[in-house]
Amino acid sequence: MPPSKLWFVRAGEGAAHVADFLAQSFVGIGWGELGVVSRDTTDQQLEGAMNAAYPDDKPGSRKVWLGMVRRFVRDIEKGDGVMTYDPEQRRYFLGEVDSDLEQRPHALPRARRVRWTHQVERDTLSAPTRNGLGSIATLFQVGPDAREEVWSKAAPLGAAPQPSPPVPAPAPADGAESQVLADTAAKADGLIEDRILALAWDDLQELFAGILRAMGYRARVSPPGGDRGVDIFASPDGLGLEEPRIFVEVKHHKAKMDAPALRSFLGGRKQGDRCVYVSTGGFTKEARYEADRASVPLQLVDLERLRELLLDSYERLAPETRALVPLKRLYWPDA
């Protein structure tokens, strides 16, 4: 009968130590600079050792690492199930913890001996289980549904690989992967907006000017000074001799901009002008009504729209503009 608990232990970054795990019959975790840690090590002692060993790392990261070390040292018990993953073979390996905590002369020095007994082909598992096992955490306890499926599809170690089931065409009814994508995209959008909000006011001006340049305009930011009503000017030639002439006002605060602010900005604009009002705090309903009835074309850009414009033009932005909100591309399987 399979063990009632199943722990996933990742074999280092990129599964670099999975061959050692299997050949030497153990699992281990790092943070060797902590020194010797045992079940008798108190939380206060462990936290102090972590802070002393990794003073330059973020407090949040140290907190996560503490939790993993604590679980490996205290929560895993002899007789528990354990698994790891070999990405090259696309195969999970399962076994049973066969010792208490040990210290090893290895890159992952905190260790427990393991009796490896079974293997599971990744492609035989359902999408929800694969997603659950795809956590980047070094150590976590596998949930009951995934644990049951993994053991039900496990074959004895060294058995011929099970044939992978045919990959079905994506079906709208199975929304597991699309839900993960939607959740990831929503989190990414929120984090990008947080980065934008964290910019200084003058950096936000430079960001929007960079977006206009990526669109093919020549844009210049007005020099510091009094309230001129125009923070950025752009046009095809940069001089305003060619239309459209684009006037931009940038407001970077939490308050929503109201209709009087828009009317003040629009004062003096003439035919051929185009106006953009950027407000990270958004706009009141009356301000949006004022924009609809303006005598010259006026675009309102709130935080969400600014994030969309940034992403649409990101690949064309100049390096100095990208540096204001550095982003990393994420590839996802196409439906």
pLDDT above 70: percentage of residues in the chain: 91
pLDDT given for residue 333 in this prediction: 73
Q: How far, in Å, are 3, 247, 276, 287, 301 from residue 294 at the CA level? A: 70, 14, 12, 10, 15
Q: What is the mean pLDDT of residues 109-116?
A: 95
Under DSSP, the state recorded for 81 is E
> In the predicted model, what is the mean pLDDT of the chain?
87
Domains of the chain (ranges, CATH numbers): 6-167 (3.10.590), 192-322 (3.40.1350.10)
User: Is 275:297 a contact under the CB 8 Å cutoff?
Assistant: yes
Average pLDDT over residues 105-121: 94
Query: Is the pTM for the entire model greater than 0.75?
Result: no
Contact assessment for residue 79 and residue 102, using Cβ atoms and an 8 Å cutoff: no
Residue pLDDT, tens place only, 273-310: 899 999 999 999 999 999 998 888 999 999 999 999 99
In this prediction, residue 113 has a pLDDT band, given cuts at 50, 70 and 90, of very high
Position 1 scores a pLDDT of 75
Angle between helices 303-313 and 176-197 (to 10 degrees): 100
- Say what the pLDDT of residue 154 is: 93
Residues 6+ apart with CB under 8 A from 181: 332
For position 239, what pLDDT does the model report? 74
